């Protein structure tokens, strides 16, 4: 039985694994891919030590650091976790089982859907959740970006290099992206901001997306926008199902509830990063939370835990 099982290989899980290696802990890191959402992050310009770095290049640097420390992730997907008398057992998609005294969930989050007609039908045929992957396919055409946060503005910024026109759709009355990013994007002539608007339907034909039906929430009128691409950037849904199966408490948004030491409601189970109820969902905060969680686990295994949340 290992001391620790880390589930998830995004910034939080990687950071935790690096600290676990330095603490000479007996641990296993299981992840489907190293890097998580960072691979799709595009240009990163707010991480310490990097004025600007591409997400893929950033992950390559991380992998080099892991290799230098001897961290060898198990590339697999955990599909079930159960409690046993002296810890936990995780079963993977490949059929292997891993036992550990403690668990650290770094399972991150996935993109939320709009849940409108046409979204599922045209996913991969005009509807995208990865602007880094798909922006180059929309050269010289009109597109819509749904979401007024950082991810929506980053998508719009990337698309200014390719698309002819970009409708930036936000359901609320204001954009919440960082000020510098907001100013840069909104000042671009290709960007057409649409506040207090929502997408009602995505329409197309056998060749892909052709238009979106939107509602102006102020006038209550509806009209169509002729676009060939729709980039959905409306936030993230925490991957907390495995933790919930063990009785771990979550918020109404399915975020794993943790205390300041990354402990969950269940003894021996910890969580870090975007799957938790931390306020800021950023690469740097996830990495910091992963390190903090590991130090908390190491302390608890070494000195014991007098109380739990």
DSSP state of 86: T
Count of residues making up the chain:
309
SS3 of residue 4 by DSSP: strand
Q: What is d(CA 250, CA 265) in angstroms, rounded to the nearest whole number? A: 9
Question: What distances in angstroms separate CA 226 from CA 68, 144, 195, one per listed residue?
Answer: 51, 9, 18
Angle at 302 between CA 297 and CA 308, to 5 degrees: 55
State the catalytic residue, choosing from 134, 274, 275, 300.
134
Q: Which of 16, 12, 4 is nearest to 108 (CA)?
A: 12
Which one of the listed residues 76, 86, 106, 130 is annotated catalytic?
A: 130
Closest of 244, 276, 252, 233 to residue 112, by C-alpha: 233
Which tokens in the block code for residue 5? 């099982």
Radius of gyration from C-alpha coordinates of the chain: 21
Nearest CA to 30 out of 72, 63, 75 is that of: 75
Handedness of CA 119, 124, 125, 130 (dihedral sign): positive
Residue 260 designated active-site: no
For residue 50, what is the DSSP state?
A: B
Chain centre to alpha carbon of residue 16:
17
Q: Are 292 and 285 in contact (CB under 8 A)?
A: no
Are 297 and 279 in contact, with CB atoms under 8 Å apart? Answer: no
Q: Choosing from 26, 86, 133, 259, which is the catalytic residue? A: 133
Mark whether 140 is an active-site residue.
no
E strand or H helix that includes residue 109: strand 109-111
Q: Which residues are catalytic?
A: 130, 133-134
């Amino acid at each position: 039985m290992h001391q620790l099982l880390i589930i998830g290989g995004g910034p939080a899980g990687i950071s935790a694994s690096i600290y676990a290696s330095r603490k000479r802990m007996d641990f296993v890191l299981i992840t489907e891919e190293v890097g998580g959402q960072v691979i799709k992050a595009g240009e990163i310009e707010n991480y310490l030590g990097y004025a600007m770095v591409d997400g893929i290049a950033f992950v390559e640097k991380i992998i080099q650091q892991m290799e230098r420390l001897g961290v060898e992730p198990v590339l697999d997907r955990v599909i079930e976790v159960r409690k046993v008398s002296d810890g936990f057992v995780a079963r993977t998609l490949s059929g292997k089982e891993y036992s550990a005294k403690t668990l650290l969930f770094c399972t991150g989050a996935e993109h939320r859907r709009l849940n409108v007609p046409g979204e599922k039908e045209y996913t991969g045929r005009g509807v995208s959740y990865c602007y880094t992957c798909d922006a180059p396919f929309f050269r010289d055409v009109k597109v819509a970006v749904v979401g007024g946060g950082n991810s929506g503005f980053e998508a719009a910024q990337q698309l200014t290099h390719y698309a002819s026109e970009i409708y930036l759709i936000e359901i609320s009355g204001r954009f919440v992206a960082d000020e510098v990013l907001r100013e840069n994007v909104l000042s671009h002539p290709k960007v057409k901001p649409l506040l207090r608007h929502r997408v009602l339907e995505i329409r197309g034909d056998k060749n892909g997306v052709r238009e979106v039906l939107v509602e102006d929430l102020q006038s209550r009128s509806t009209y169509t926008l002729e676009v060939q691409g729709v980039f959905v950037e409306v936030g993230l849904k925490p991957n907390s199902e495995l933790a919930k199966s063990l009785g771990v408490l979550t918020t109404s948004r399915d975020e794993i509830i943790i205390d300041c030491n990354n402990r969950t409601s269940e003894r021996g189970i910890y969580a870090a990063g975007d799957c938790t109820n931390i306020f800021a969902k950023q690469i740097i905060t996830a990495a910091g939370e992963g390190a903090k969680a590991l130090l908390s686990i190491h302390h608890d295994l070494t000195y014991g835990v007098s109380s739990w949340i």
